[in-house]
Each structure stands twice: as structure tokens, then as C-alpha cells.
Amino acid sequence: MRTVLLAVIMTTFTLGMNAQSKVGYANVDELLAAMPETKAAEEEMKKFAEILQNDMKFLEEEYQNKLTELENGANSGWSELMIKSKQEDLYNSQQKIYEFQQQAQTQISEKQVELMQPVIEKLQNAVNEVAKEKGFAYVLDASPSRGVVIYKDGGTDIAPFVKAKLGI
């Protein structure tokens, strides 16, 4: 009798938990890629990266010109003092290029966060609204790149609802 009562209680508890824990999933990478704001951010990032790349080319050309000047000067009879001075100048140009690369990487990362943050917030708000409207307790990211959902058998793909909410 006690065993039957325990089984009934466990079954009721399990069924109650399943009813309360509605789970949905969405491929966030796919949703982000479908948003026009993402495409606009990518275009702006491309322009920003091109500007930095052009600046980098200028620094590299400057370095190359100094190297050529040093080679030509050394071959034409410059003094050791002049050669040493030009070598230091060349080294400083090399350092400038390295520092520029480091700062450019940092700026690119910061710019990407700046541009994508509002897009991600918009998507998050849409997911939150859909989850509340449809009664989901949990929504998991099913994007292959993130690996949050490694197996799914059941649950509901809420991506179509989120796309509708976003108008895409």
C-alpha cells in the first residue's frame, strides 16, 4: 500500500513538473543572421575594418620606405652613426606597426560589441516576449556554434514565433 501511494505521489509530482516546465529552443545564430540590423552592423564593421586596414598599409609602406632608405644609404657609404640612427628609426616604425595592430584588434572588438549589443537586446526582448506569450519556462539556444543544446527530443522550436515578433 505504501509503495503504491509513493508511486502515485511520484507520478503526480513528475506530471506536475512536466506541465510547469515547458521548454522551447531557437537557433540564435540563425535568428541573428536573419535580422536586418545584423546585416547593417556587419556592413558598418566592414567599413570600419577597411579604414583600419588602409591605415595599416600606410604604416607598412612607411616602414618599407625606411628599410629601402637604410639599405641604399648603407650601400652608398653612410657612417656607422647614421646607419645606427636609421636602424633605430626602423625599429621604432616596427614597434608602431605592432602597437597599431594591437590597438586595431581592440577597437574592432569594441566596435563589434557596440554595434551588436542593441541587436542582441532586441532579439532577447523578442524571445522573452514569445516565451511569456507561449508559456515557456525555459528557452535554450540550439545554435550549433554554441552547443547549449546537444540533444533534443521534444520541446518547441520558437524561432518562427520570434521571427514573427521581429517582423522577419
Q: Which amino acid is at 35?
A: M
In a domain, 12, yes or no: no
In a domain, 119, yes or no: yes
Evaluate the CA torsion angle 15, 17, 22, 25 in order and state its sign: negative
The grid cell for 17 is 513538473
Range of the structural domain that residue 161 is part of: 17-166
The grid cell for 104 is 586595431
In a domain, 54, yes or no: yes
In a domain, 26, yes or no: yes
> Taking the CA of residue 37 as centre, how many other CA atoms within 13 Å lie in the half-sphere pointing to its CB?
16
In a domain, 150, yes or no: yes
The grid cell for 20 is 510547469
Write out the chain's pLDDT in tens, 168 residues.
333 332 333 333 344 444 557 999 999 999 999 999 999 999 999 999 999 999 999 999 999 999 999 999 999 999 999 999 999 999 999 999 999 999 999 999 999 999 999 999 999 999 999 999 999 999 999 998 886 765 666 788 899 999 999 999
In a domain, 35, yes or no: yes
In a domain, 2, yes or no: no
Query: Does residue 23 sit in helix, strand or coil?
Result: strand
Backbone angles phi, psi at 153, to 5 degrees: -140, 90
In a domain, 3, yes or no: no
Count of domains in the chain?
1
Residue 37 is given by DSSP the state: H
